[in-house]
Structure 1
Amino acid sequence: MYRRRGIALMGMLGMVGALAAVIPATAGESTARPAWAACPENVVVPPPLLVQCAKVPVPLDYRDPEGTQIEIMVSRIASTKPEKRRGVLMFNPGGPGGTGLDQPGFLAGKGLPASVLDAYDLIGMDTRGVGHSAPVSCGFTDVDAYWANIPPYAVDGAAVTRQAEIVKEVAARCAANDTEGRLRHLTTANMARDLDRIRAALGEEKVNFYGASYGSALGAAYASMFSATADRIVLDSNIGDTHLDRAGLRRYALGMEQTLPDFAEWAAARHDSYGLGRTPEQVRTTYLTIAERLDRTPAADGLNGAVFRFVTFASLYSEIQYGNLARIWQSYRDPGKVPSEAKAAVAPSPSDNALTVFLAVTCNDVEWPEDVETYRRAVAEDRERYPLYGAASANITPCAYWKYEPSEPPVAISDKGPRKVLILQNWHDPVTPLAGGKLLREQFGQRARLVTANESGHGVYVLGGNACVLNLTTSYLVDGTMPARDTTCRRD
């Protein structure tokens, strides 16, 4: 049978509300330096780079900074050019829930310029709750009815009702498995506080930061909560705020509508090879036809319309996946037996840990509606507004039944502070559409500059491959040269 699991997709100016008075930003921070040693085996870097890892203690609850401590594992690729070194550059790859220990090495392997490697010690980490940093678990398995951090496509109101029962059980299971009381403390604000503890442990006065996808929310949070210690901040592929809320999740459907035409144009130009349509319009029709047929009758391997839509959505993250996506569509285009190789191509399997952290942070950061009818209305609206994927991202999530209420308001972004926030955004991005970059730019005001690329996919700097964006961002990180105005980079 088809293994129904999805991937946890990959990602504050002063304190807000009453909490400002009760949580000192760096109360009781340790002055002990990290003890660098070998990293876990799965943390690899391209030669001749070398990586080391260490653990930094942080409070589980920042209201009680001297209470229970947890350890955050960080990695370091140290600059080998002391005459060029200007500090540390922290990374977050997104999620929330994505492991980040290997992120500096991953980007170095993809072409992170040598000038950046010379200028900084590159610092990766597993944020709290993730991987090697006090990991948490809801107990998800490969055969769960809940199989992705994005809700499944709801074909009608009854499907929303059925999903409500599934996510209610998920929320209860997470609460039952939280025997050490850690889940409530997984928030973007606390992760930002952890970043500053790591900064202090490293003996640095300032922090430079690169965050992608959800990492843009974490970076926006740090730049706002700790503006005095935030130096050069790069926010790539933006969710539009310091947290993922219901409006942000529903924007996934907008991203799908804006990005699928790029694949449709690509596939139409290759009709003789894939047979998915001679025009982009015909390719779009092929998608809807396959999805709706699978809604009615799942394929022989168990794949249904919801999973087919999810696989298509996730495959739009990078143009390099277009060929594989076209082959998958070919496999399911006609009713009948699906070749066994097609099954393996569409069976992503995230970790229980990644999915747990995604839920905890998303549900803890902001209030979510609890009324099922609210989600049924939204699904009906977005099915019409965004027919490709709207009835998925508007569907109900476990946050509707989450045990814990947010412990503090979501942190507001302010335009007060140094102009050191560089926002990068592709025009077409399936999960963080251009609207998210514009929202973040508007909130930061003159603190930020927005660089947009006429490109398609998720990820702009290094991974996106646009020369203009690469040069502008590298110049900013190395020399501090911020664009004088918002800039659009043409497609290479």
Structure 2
Amino acid sequence: MDSRRLLRTSAIAVATAGLLISGCSSGSSSTSANASGHAAIKAGPADAPSAEDLAAYTTQKLTWRACGVATFECATMKAPLDYAKPAGASIKLAVARVKATGPGNRIGSLMVNPGGPGGSAIGYLQSYAGLGYPAPVRAQYDMVAMDPRGVARSEPVECLTGPQMDAYTEVDQTPDDAAEQAALTKAFKDFAHGCQTKSGTILPHVSTVEAARDMDILRQVLGDQKLHYVGASYGTFLGATYAELYPARVGRLVLDGAMDPSISSLEMNRDQTAGFETAFKSFAADCVKQKECPLGTESVEDASDRLRTFFKSVDAKPVPTGQSRQLGEALATTGVIAAMYDQAAWPELRTALAHAMNHDGAGLLALADSYYERDAKGKYANLMFANAAVNCLDLPPSFAGPAEVTASLRSFEQASPVFGAGFAWSSLNCAYWPVKATGSAHRIEAKGAAPILVVGTTRDPATPYKWAESLAGQLSSATLLTYEGDGHTAYGRGSDCIDTAINTYLLDGTPPAKGKRCS
């Protein structure tokens, strides 16, 4: 398992794209030593440049070309690599759109982001939002996406080769002894070193603050007075950060599967651990009602015990998958986690577990590969690379070393007897990152912003419901819309109540009544 605070929208969780977490930025150029002993690059400041400083960027003209399917168009936008030095080097960012279909008056552009960090917004637009959002919304908005800096088509962060990633994803993340601890920390260090070697120039400049500033350049280039936006999961943090930086430029913002910017990386990881435990209990409660449930038909507690026993068995003796890779505990756990994002994947998980318990790990491996965005040829998308790069820049690490993980194990295992240890150890990765974190946990109020709609799901595994409650309480103009159900995020997942409330807000700017709950 490699959770990395990875958050992804349910609509594409298992099939395609990805998502995740953040902070803000400041500081000056310097170096310091990180936990690996290597010199750490201190990211430059993301101080606000003046309108004059950015004029060359905000007045640029995009050259649109046909791309993908249907009426999709693509272009390349430039932004400063370092906002503290806007006259310096630039970065190229990929943009895509589908023009408003009409009838009705065009409201403007509606930017979308599926989260991650590391999820491709363009991939999300082309696979779902551009043609799958409700027709009245697409009629009055140009649907727009920009891959954030360091992601997918926008000068992607690169770290490891396919075979190296295969080995990395198989490393035991519940070490039983000193040797296994050493192997895990070495894997984290090698991952970080690979990112520094291949992407050292961009690593200090992929923060959420910088991505939000890029969004404002795109807003101006598109000719919009206000930013209209739907962000899911990590995309909610990106949207909230935009509102913090530019409250007067906020239009209609939907923040679905909300992050809580006020908590530390350690708190975030522990909360998410509890979130996946809640999701697993929902899956288990459903599974034990099925006569073919591989975890038994007795109780949720019994199902939990059986899953832990299974994880221990494949830790001791991995099972074959029909490929050169075997299914050990790390990949098996990732496969289970992948199915927690959407209850539509529960039948597939039941089948995969049944086969794995009968010495065929192909199904769980396929789920794990979908989580990591690994294709059949062994090539990985840059999801996990960008994910670590943004996370480790946005917030200080959860732990400085293995001793701190060991000291916190009990609290993680209390949060989740099934996943706790793995989540605790996977939270160690940023300790060895070559770029010093520039962000910090803080409240976001965005005073003066137009009404913002925050959406939370009560049994969301990746963004626990209390995060939505917290963000809605912080934002001065927020309304909380609650979905009582399972899965990650709520919009477009089958609730007419949720969809109607969000569509109404997007089309006429009216948020739902405070306290509105849907199921």
TM-score, normalization: structure 1? 0.88
1:467 aligns with 2:496: yes
Matched-pair contact (CA < 8 Å) for 1:256–1:388: no
Deviations 1:267-313 (A, max 9, x none): 12212465732433332232222122223332244322232222111
Residue 57 (structure 1) aligns with: 78
1:195 aligns with 2:215: yes
- Per the alignment, do residues 110 and 56 of structure 1 end up closer, same or farther by CA in structure 2, a change over 3 Å counting? closer
1: CA distance, partners of 2:306 / 2:101: 53
- Per the alignment, do residues 62 and 212 of structure 1 end up closer, same or farther by CA in structure 2, a change over 3 Å counting? same
- Per the alignment, do residues 162 and 282 of structure 1 end up closer, same or farther by CA in structure 2, a change over 3 Å counting? same
Quick check: 124-133 or 214-223, which moved more?
Answer: 124-133
2: CA distance, partners of 1:98 / 1:205: 27
Match of 2:483 among 453, 475, 483: 453
Matched-pair contact (CA < 8 Å) for 2:158–2:385: yes
Matched-pair contact (CA < 8 Å) for 1:291–1:308: yes
Quick check: 375-384 or 473-482, which moved more?
Answer: 375-384
Residue 266 (structure 2) aligns with: 246
Matched-pair contact (CA < 8 Å) for 1:294–1:305: yes
Residue 420 (structure 2) aligns with: 390
Residue 468 (structure 2) aligns with: 437
Matched-pair contact (CA < 8 Å) for 2:121–2:147: yes
The offset of 1:147, in angstroms, is 2.2
The offset of 1:261, in angstroms, is 1.9
Match of 1:338 among 337, 340, 360: 360
The offset of 1:70, in angstroms, is 1.2
1: CA distance, partners of 2:297 / 2:309: 12
SS at match of 2:436: coil
2: CA distance, partners of 1:413 / 1:309: 34
Residue 428 (structure 1) aligns with: 459
Residue 327 (structure 2) aligns with: 303
Residue 312 (structure 2) aligns with: 292
Residue 326 (structure 1) aligns with: 350
Residue 246 (structure 2) aligns with: 226
SS at match of 2:229: strand
The offset of 1:71, in angstroms, is 1.4
Paired AA for residue 260 in structure 1? F
1: CA distance, partners of 2:308 / 2:470: 31
Quick check: 269-278 or 73-82, which moved more?
Answer: 269-278
Q: Over aligned residues, Cα RMSD in angstroms?
A: 2.8
Match of 2:195 among 167, 171, 174: 174
2: CA distance, partners of 1:398 / 1:239: 20
Residue 262 (structure 1) aligns with: 282
Matched-pair contact (CA < 8 Å) for 2:25–2:207: no
Q: How many residues align?
A: 471
The offset of 1:409, in angstroms, is 4.7
Deviations 1:81-118 (A, max 9, x none): 27421111101111111111132343347742111111
The offset of 1:140, in angstroms, is 3.8
Residue 168 (structure 2) aligns with: 146
1:127 aligns with 2:148: yes
Q: How do 1:349-388 residues align onto structure 2 when only pairs under 5 Å count?
A: 349-350=372-373, 351-368=380-397, 369-388=399-418
- Per the alignment, do residues 18 and 297 of structure 1 end up closer, same or farther by CA in structure 2, a change over 3 Å counting? closer
2: CA distance, partners of 1:203 / 1:23: 21
Residue 88 (structure 1) aligns with: 109
1: CA distance, partners of 2:341 / 2:50: 36
1: CA distance, partners of 2:487 / 2:120: 21
Matched-pair contact (CA < 8 Å) for 1:213–1:432: yes
2: CA distance, partners of 1:486 / 1:103: 30
Matched-pair contact (CA < 8 Å) for 1:219–1:235: yes
The offset of 1:77, in angstroms, is 0.8
Structure 1 unmatched ranges of 5 or more: none
1: CA distance, partners of 2:361 / 2:412: 33
SS at match of 2:236: helix
The offset of 1:176, in angstroms, is 1.8
2: CA distance, partners of 1:385 / 1:83: 50
- Per the alignment, do residues 140 and 420 of structure 1 end up closer, same or farther by CA in structure 2, a change over 3 Å counting? farther
SS at match of 1:171: helix
Deviations 1:351-398 (A, max 9, x none): 352221111111111211323311221223312332111112221433
Residue 65 (structure 2) aligns with: 37
Matched-pair contact (CA < 8 Å) for 2:25–2:209: no
Deviations 1:202-257 (A, max 9, x none): 11111101111111110111111111111111111123228982322222211111
SS at match of 1:173: helix
Match of 2:48 among 13, 20, 23: 23
- Per the alignment, do residues 415 and 64 of structure 1 end up closer, same or farther by CA in structure 2, a change over 3 Å counting? closer
Matched-pair contact (CA < 8 Å) for 1:6–1:147: no
- Per the alignment, do residues 449 and 152 of structure 1 end up closer, same or farther by CA in structure 2, a change over 3 Å counting? farther
Residue 117 (structure 1) aligns with: 138
Deviations 1:428-463 (A, max 9, x none): 11211112212212221x41111111110012101x
- Per the alignment, do residues 476 and 242 of structure 1 end up closer, same or farther by CA in structure 2, a change over 3 Å counting? farther
Matched-pair contact (CA < 8 Å) for 2:479–2:514: yes
Residue 482 (structure 1) aligns with: 511
Paired AA for residue 101 in structure 1? I
Taking only the aligned residue pairs, the percentage that are identical comes to 29
Q: How do 1:147-162 residues align onto structure 2 when only pairs under 5 Å count?
A: 147=169, 153-156=173-176, 158=178, 159-162=180-183
Quick check: 170-179 or 190-199, which moved more?
Answer: 170-179
2: CA distance, partners of 1:234 / 1:242: 19
Matched-pair contact (CA < 8 Å) for 1:91–1:104: yes
Quick check: 432-441 or 264-273, which moved more?
Answer: 264-273
TM-score, normalization: structure 2? 0.83
Residue 205 (structure 1) aligns with: 225
1: CA distance, partners of 2:473 / 2:60: 39
- Per the alignment, do residues 18 and 133 of structure 1 end up closer, same or farther by CA in structure 2, a change over 3 Å counting? closer
Deviations 1:23-65 (A, max 9, x none): 32653233122111122xxx44xxxx51111111100000111
SS at match of 2:458: strand
2: CA distance, partners of 1:409 / 1:343: 36
SS at match of 2:159: coil
1: CA distance, partners of 2:106 / 2:71: 16
Paired AA for residue 108 in structure 2? G
- Per the alignment, do residues 273 and 171 of structure 1 end up closer, same or farther by CA in structure 2, a change over 3 Å counting? closer
